[in-house]
Chain A
Amino acid sequence: MKKQDKILTVILLAALFIFLIIANLFLDAYIKRVLNLCAIYTILALSMNLINGFTGLFSLGHAGFMAIGAYCVGIFTLPISVRPANFYIEPMHPAIANVELPFFVALLLGGVLAAFFAFLIGAPVLRLRDDYLAIATLGFSEIIRIVLTNMQSITNGPLGIKNIPTTANMWWIYGVTLVTVIFLVLLISSSYGRAFKAIREDEIAAQAMGINLFRHKILSFMIGAFFAGIAGGLYASMLSTVDPKNFIFTLTYNFLLIIVLGGMGSVSGTIISAYIVTAGLEIMRFFDEPLSIFGVSIPLFRPGLRMVIFSICLMIIVLFFRNGLMGNKELNWDMLRGLFSKRSKRIKGGEAR
C-alpha cells in the first residue's frame, strides 16, 4: 500500500466517523433504519461472498446461520422480567430461564455457535461439489429452522420472541460492519485468501500445489457462518423480535442476489450492491404511491409496482453486466484515480509500470 493510499484510507474512515455522528444527530429514524439494514445486509452478503465468491463453494445455508445468531441474541438478551409474558404457552427451560447475557457476549456467542454448526455440517458436506453442496446446505438451513420451531421451551417455537432490547444502534452496526470488512479484506489478501481463490479456480490444481483442501474449505465456511451469525444477532436486536418463519430459505436468495449483482469475488462490489438493493428498494417506494399527471391518475402506479420495476432493473443489470457490477475487481484508490484522471495519463501510467 502506498503512503498516499494510506492517508486516503484514514481520511475515508474519518469521513465515515463524521458521517455517523451527523447521521445520528440529524437524520430521522426512517433513514437511519434503512442505513442500518444496508450495513447488516453488507455483513451477510460479504460473509456469503467469502464462501461462494472467493472459495467457490455454492452454499445456500446462510439463512440458517443467521437464525442461530439471531436466536442467540434473542434468547440471551431478553430481560428476565419480560420472559414469562413471552413464553406464555410453555415456560422457558429452567437451565436458561435465568441466564441473561450482555449484548456483546450474546452476539459473539451467536457467531461462535453458528461457526460450530457450520463445522458440524461442513465436515461431511463440503466433500460435495456445486449443486449437490447447494442442496445439502439448503436442507441444513431448513433443518435449523424446523429445530427452532420445535424447541418450544427454548425458542418459544412458532410464536417467536418479542421485546428484545434494541441495543444495536448505528454505532454497533457500523462498528461491526467495519470490523467485518477489514477482517475479510485482510483475510482475502493473506495466504489463506490466495488458497481460497486457488480452490475456487481449480480444486485439483490447488491440491497439487499442496493446499489442504478440506482445511481451507471448512475454514472459509466457518468464518462465513460466524459473520452470518453476528449479522443475525444485529438483525434480531434491530427488529426487537425473531420468529422461525423469518428465516425460510428464500431469505438466503436476498444475499445471493446481492453478491451476484455486486460481483462474485469482489468485496467492494458486494458493499455497493448491498446498498443499491436495500436502499434502492426503499427509494423506489414512490412507485407504489398513486400517481396522477395533470389530474389523470395512472392505474399502473399502485402498491407492488416497485417490485416489478426492481425486477426489470435486475434483468437489465444481468444482461449488461454479466459478472455483476464489479466482476471480481476491487474498487481501490488506483481504480478511482484512473476514473478521475485523464485517459492519456492512465495510459502513461500503464506504460510506466
Chain B
Amino acid sequence: MKRVFTIVLCILLAMTMAAGCSSQAAAPAANDQDVIKIGVFEPLTGANAAGGELEVEGIKLANELYPEVLGKKVELVIVDNKSDKAEAANAAIRLIEKEKVTAIIGSWGSSLSMAAGAPIEENKVPTVGASCTNPLVTKDNDYYFRVCFIDPFQGTVMARYAYNNLGAKKAAIIQELSNDYAVGLANFFKEEFVKLTGDPNAVVEIANYQTNDTDFTAQLTNIKGKNPDVIFAPGNFTESAMIVKQARTLGIETPFIGGDTWETDEFIQVGGDAVEGVVFSTFFDPSAALTPETKVFLDAYAKAYPNRQPAAVTALGYDAYLLILDAIERSGTTDSVAVRDAIAATKDFPGAAGPITLDENGDAIKDAVIKTVKDGKFTYMDTVKAN
C-alpha cells in the first residue's frame, strides 16, 4: 500500500516538475513585450460546461484567423470557472493579477459574469461578455460590455412580432420562474405588448413553472380557459418543448413563441411534430449572412468542425474577440482605460452575428433573427431591425 502511494506521489511530483520546467522554458522564448494577452474565463467544467465550451470554440477560431494586433501576437489565456460563482471571481482576479491581461472575454451564464464584475471594475480591465443576457451584468459597470442583445430587447421583439405579424390582441405567458433569463424576457414582453395593444389587460395569464418540471397540465388548462391569441413561453428548451407538446395534446392550437434558448437539437427531439411552426427570436442564422464577416466565420467553422452547425454563442464568442482586437487597434495601445474607451465607442462593427453598436450601458444594439421550426429543422424567417 505504502509503495503504491509513494509511486503515485512520485508521478505527481514529476508531473509538477515537468509543468514547472516547461513554463519557465517557454517564458523567455515569448517576450512579454511582444505578446498581448486576452483572458477568457468560461465554465469548462460543471453544470454550464457545454455552453462555455461552445463559446471558447468561437474565441479560439477568431484567434486562429486573427492572431495579431499592433504587430504583436495575441495570446489567449483560458481559465475554467467551474460554473461556480466564487471560482468565477477567482478566475477573473487571477487573469488580472497573475496574467496581467489587457482585456477579458466571458462568461457564459450571467451570474458568473456578475460575480466577476466587481473585481473587473475595480481593476479597470475592459471585459466583453459573449452571451450573458441579464441586464444587471453591464448596468453600473463601466468596464463590462457585451456583444449580445439583452433580455428586454428580445422580449420587445417578440411582443412586436405577436402584435404585428400574428395580429394578436390577447397573450398568455408561461415562464420558467427560476431562470433570470425567462423572467426578464416575460417581463419586457408584457410591457411592450400592453403598450402596443393599449389594453392594460392584454396579457390574460402569467403562469409559472420551475426548472425540471415535467407536468404543465394545470398551467395550460388555466391558459386554455382564458383563450389567448398567442402564448409566449420563454425558458429552458426541454421544458418548453414539453409545454408545447402537452398543449397540443390538450387541444390548444394557439401559436407558441419563445426565445433563443429554444435553438437546440434537443428542442426538436423532445417536441417532435408538436413544435412545428413555433417561432422564436435568436442572434444569428448561418443562412442569412448579416455581414461579410459571417461568411469568413462560417467557412472557418466548417473547416475546423466539419459536420456541425455553428451555435449562436460560438459566433458571439468570435465577435467578442474581434471587438476587443478592433478596440486595441483603434486605440493603438494596450492601456486598459484607452481600450475601454475604444470599446465603448464601438459603432456598426461588422461582427459574424450581425453589426454591433454599443449603447451607453455597454449593451449591443443589434438586429434579432426570427426563426421557426419547419419539417423538423430551424428555418430562417425574418430579421428584425434594432430600432
Contact = CB atoms under 8 A, between A and B. Distances in A.
A29 B93 contact: yes
Nearest to B152: A88
Interface in A230-250: 235, 238-241, 243-246, 250
Contacts of A15: none
Contacts of A287: 19
Interface stretch (A130-138, A289-297, A332-340): A289-297
B295 interface: no
A267 B16 CA distance: 30
Contacts of B98: 28, 30
A162 B85 contact: no
A169 interface: no
Given A85-B140, A239-B85, A246-B85, A286 B111 contact: no
A316 B11 CA distance: 13
Contact of B180 (A146, A158, A304, A307): A158
B28 to A, nearest CB: 14
Contacts of B18: 291, 293
Interface string B116-151: 011100010000000000111001100000000000
A37 interface: yes
Interface string A47-86: 0000000000000000000000000000000000010011
Given A33-B93, A82-B140, A304 B22 contact: no
Interface in A17-64: 28-30, 33-34, 37
Interface residues of B, number: 53
Contacts of B179: 158
A291 B22 contact: yes
A303 interface: yes
A159 B183 contact: yes
B79 A28 contact: no
B135 A158 contact: no
Interface residues of A, number: 51
Contact of B78 (A82, A303, A313): A303
Contacts of A150: 177
A304 B118 contact: no
Contacts of A158: 177-180, 182-183
A288 B26 contact: no
Contacts of A303: 42, 44-45, 56, 78-80
A86 B141 CA distance: 12
A324 interface: no
A208 B115 CA distance: 51
Given A30-B90, A158-B179, A159-B136, A241 B79 contact: no
B189 to A, nearest CB: 12
Nearest to B41: A303
B8 interface: yes
A299 to B, nearest CB: 14
B54 interface: no
Given A37-B86, A146-B210, A239-B89, A304 B44 contact: yes
Contacts of A291: 18-19, 22-23
A292 B22 contact: yes
B58 interface: no
Contacts of B96: 29-30
B117 A285 contact: no
A297 B45 CA distance: 22
A132 to B, nearest CB: 23
A243 B111 contact: yes
B187 interface: yes
Contact of B134 (A159, A239, A292, A320): A159
20 contacts: A28-B97, A30-B93, A37-B90, A82-B140, A146-B178, A150-B177, A158-B179, A162-B114, A162-B139, A162-B140, A241-B114, A241-B118, A243-B180, A244-B178, A285-B79, A291-B23, A293-B22, A303-B56, A303-B78, A320-B1
Interface of A: 28-30, 33-34, 37, 82, 85-86, 88-89, 146, 149-150, 152, 157-160, 162-163, 166, 235, 238-241, 243-246, 250, 281-282, 285-289, 291-293, 301, 303-304, 306-307, 309, 313, 316, 320
Pairs A-B, 7 closest by C-beta atoms = A30-B97, A240-B118, A158-B180, A303-B44, A303-B80, A28-B97, A241-B114
